[in-house]
A = this chain, B = another copy of it.
Amino acid sequence: MTDQSVSRFGHVELADFPTDLRERITPIAEKSGFVPNVFRAMARRPAELRAFLDYHDALMEPTTDDEGTEIGLTRAERELVVVATSGANHCTYCVVAHGAILRIRTKDPTIADRVASNPYGAELSGRERAIVDLALRISLESARFGDADLDAARRAGLSDEEIWDVGAITALFGLSNRIAHLTALQPNAEFYAMGRQPRA
């Protein structure tokens, strides 16, 4: 019988990953202290995992301008999109794993639980609220996305490139949330408590 402790379709241990994927995930695992289960579950399909990682890296790393300065959405704002989307989609894996990253990026031990449990009403800055509203619209009723949404985002100071980033991250984690539900993906136990102590 398939081991379902990671995914209902089984999983692959890091040592058994194709070389390129093992080399790519190893530094993440070393930094975290464990191999996030999403990689172990998706490694059953290496080509899909590679494409997912490429899409992820294209969107979750901040953009830099010609001089290498980070511009556009911050790392924390990108994680905020993930947590809001995953909360709205009821994806436990992504809420727990990216909630941890959001706490670490923001050094705020409460924001992830507040956004994941109620993305519709969580108290946020004006810019953060505009980002989350955009993510919710694209997650839940994208067919109605239109000029009113764009105008609201622009009034909150978001550039078109930032709007694209929010929308595309929402779309990518909509994919990720659905893969997690498809596979009954289990969060690693370590994620739950990460980042819960405010840093000095």
Q: A145–B109 contact, CB under 8 A?
A: no
In the complex where A113-B92, A192-B196 touch, is A171 in contact with B182 (Cβ < 8 A)?
Answer: yes
- 0/1 per residue, A26-68, Cβ < 8 Å to B? 0000000000000000000101101110110111000000000
Q: A120–B91 contact, CB under 8 A?
A: no
Q: A181–B48 contact, CB under 8 A?
A: no
Classify the secondary structure of A's interface with B: helix
* A interface bracket (residues with beta carbon within 8 Å of B): 35 or more
Cβ contacts under 8 Å, A122 to chain B: 92
Q: A121–B96 contact, CB under 8 A?
A: no
Query: A152 at the A/B interface (Cβ < 8 Å)?
Result: no
A contact set with B: CB distance below 8 Å: 8-9, 45, 47-48, 50-52, 54-55, 57-59, 86-87, 89-92, 95-96, 109-110, 113-114, 116-118, 120-123, 138-139, 141-146, 150, 160, 163-164, 167-168, 170-172, 174-179, 181-184, 187, 189, 192-193, 196-197
What CA separation (Å) do A177 and B178 show in the bound complex?
Answer: 14
Cβ contacts under 8 Å, A110 to chain B: 187, 189, 192
Q: B51–A142 contact, CB under 8 A?
A: no
Give min CB distance, A8 to chain B, whole Å: 8
What CA separation (Å) do A113 and B174 show in the bound complex?
Answer: 20
Give min CB distance, A104 to chain B, whole Å: 14
Q: A193–B197 contact, CB under 8 A?
A: yes
User: Apart from A45-B168, A109-B189, what 15 extra A-B contacts exist at CB < 8 Å?
Assistant: A55-B55, A89-B142, A90-B118, A92-B113, A92-B122, A96-B113, A121-B145, A163-B182, A164-B182, A164-B183, A167-B178, A167-B182, A171-B174, A171-B176, A193-B197
